């Protein structure tokens, strides 16, 4: 009995070790992507389409936030870091210290939209008004030409790339958002909150805007593809994929796919703006 168990155990261990060694086979290629929840829809769709065409490639995509993605790239636990902001200098330093050389590839353009409840008649806000609303200086819609209604400021967690982009693009670096602002975890939740709250104002990626909310102009410029592309719309930003060094091999092929016709159509389909 004991002997049989022993043999079983040894063969099991052998199987585990051997199956762990299948890396030599060239057929199965794994690509891991991690990072921005804004880039996630593009990455996810592109990965699905790409895997359909390349059966030997497995791409896993995680949407954990730009900072997390870049951290994973620095820790060498991901092949591609998706980011909705440029890599920070301190992150580059850290990567270099870890022997990682972040390489930036812009893949699409994103425009942030300021959204309000559909019943709100306000159509346009200036940068100054947005800033005053988000810092808590203006708290009633009647001060910006709307109804006598308390402004419910909806923002994102400070861990969100969208939050950082909004602060930088709309409010100016290091602006303190009012401490009464609701803080929500995703574009989707911000949209839902704004859609169900009469006095709400929020900001989401252009790709998330639908008829449940009203996207208003910023500085008189309508948030749409044309205005983002010709750079007249101030609240727009590039989305990036970061790799360790210039992409090579399977990773390069995948990024080329994202930048190619099919990939750019996907980016457009999920609501962003193509750059190629």
CB of 167 to other proteins, least distance (A): 9
User: How much is the CA Rg of the chain, to the nearest whole Å?
Assistant: 23
Q: Which of 71, 209, 241, 258 binds other proteins (CB under 8 A)?
A: 71
Choosing from 160, 187, 217, 243, the residue that interacts with other proteins (CB under 8 A) is: 160
CA distance readout (Å), 186 to 34, 74, 146: 16, 24, 27
Please identify, using beta-carbon distances, which residue of 30 and 210 lies nearer to other proteins.
210
Q: How many CB atoms lie within 10 A of CB 206?
A: 21
Residue 65 binds other proteins, judged by CB under 8 A: yes
Largest pairwise CA distance in the chain: 86
For residue 65, the minimal CB distance to other proteins (Å) is 4
Site string for other proteins, 178-217 (x = CB under 8 A): xxxxxxxx---x--xx--xxxxx-----------------
- Which of 158, 261, 269, 276 binds other proteins (CB under 8 A)? It is 158
What tokens does 134 get?
Answer: 């988000």
C-alpha 73/C-alpha 82 separation (Å) is 10
Contacts of 228 (CB under 8 A, 6+ apart): 109, 110, 111, 206, 236, 273
Contact positions toward other proteins, by CB under 8 A?
A: 64-68, 71, 90-91, 94, 149-150, 152, 157-160, 164, 173-174, 176, 178-185, 189, 192-193, 196-200
């Amino acid at each position: 009995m004991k002997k049989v168990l022993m043999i079983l155990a040894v063969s099991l261990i052998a199987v585990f070790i051997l199956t762990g060694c299948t890396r030599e086979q060239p057929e199965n290629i794994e690509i891991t992507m991690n990072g921005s929840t804004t880039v996630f829809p593009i990455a996810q769709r592109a990965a699905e389409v790409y895997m359909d065409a390349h059966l030997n490639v497995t791409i896993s995509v995680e949407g954990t936030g730009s900072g997390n993605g870049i951290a994973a790239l620095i820790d060498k636990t991901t092949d591609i870091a998706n980011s909705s902001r440029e890599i920070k200098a301190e992150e580059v330093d850290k990567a270099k210290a870890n022997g990682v050389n972040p390489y930036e590839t812009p893949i699409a353009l994103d425009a942030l939209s300021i959204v309000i409840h559909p019943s709100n008649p306000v159509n346009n806000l200036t940068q100054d008004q947005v800033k005053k609303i988000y810092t808590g200086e203006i708290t009633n819609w009647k001060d910006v030409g709307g109804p006598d209604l308390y402004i419910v400021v909806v923002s994102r967690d400070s861990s969100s790339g969208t939050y950082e982009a909004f602060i930088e693009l709309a409010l100016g670096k290091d602006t303190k958002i009012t401490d009464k602002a609701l803080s929500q975890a995703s574009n989707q939740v911000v949209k839902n909150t704004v859609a169900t709250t009469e006095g709400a104002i929020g900001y989401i990626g252009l790709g998330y805007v639908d008829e449940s909310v009203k996207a208003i102009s910023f500085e008189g410029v309508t948030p749409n593809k044309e205005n983002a592309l010709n750079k007249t719309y101030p609240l727009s930003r590039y989305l990036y994929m970061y790799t360790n060094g210039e992409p090579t091999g399977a990773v390069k092929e995948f990024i080329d796919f994202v930048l190619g016709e099919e990939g750019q159509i996907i980016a457009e389909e999920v609501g962003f703006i193509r750059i190629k």
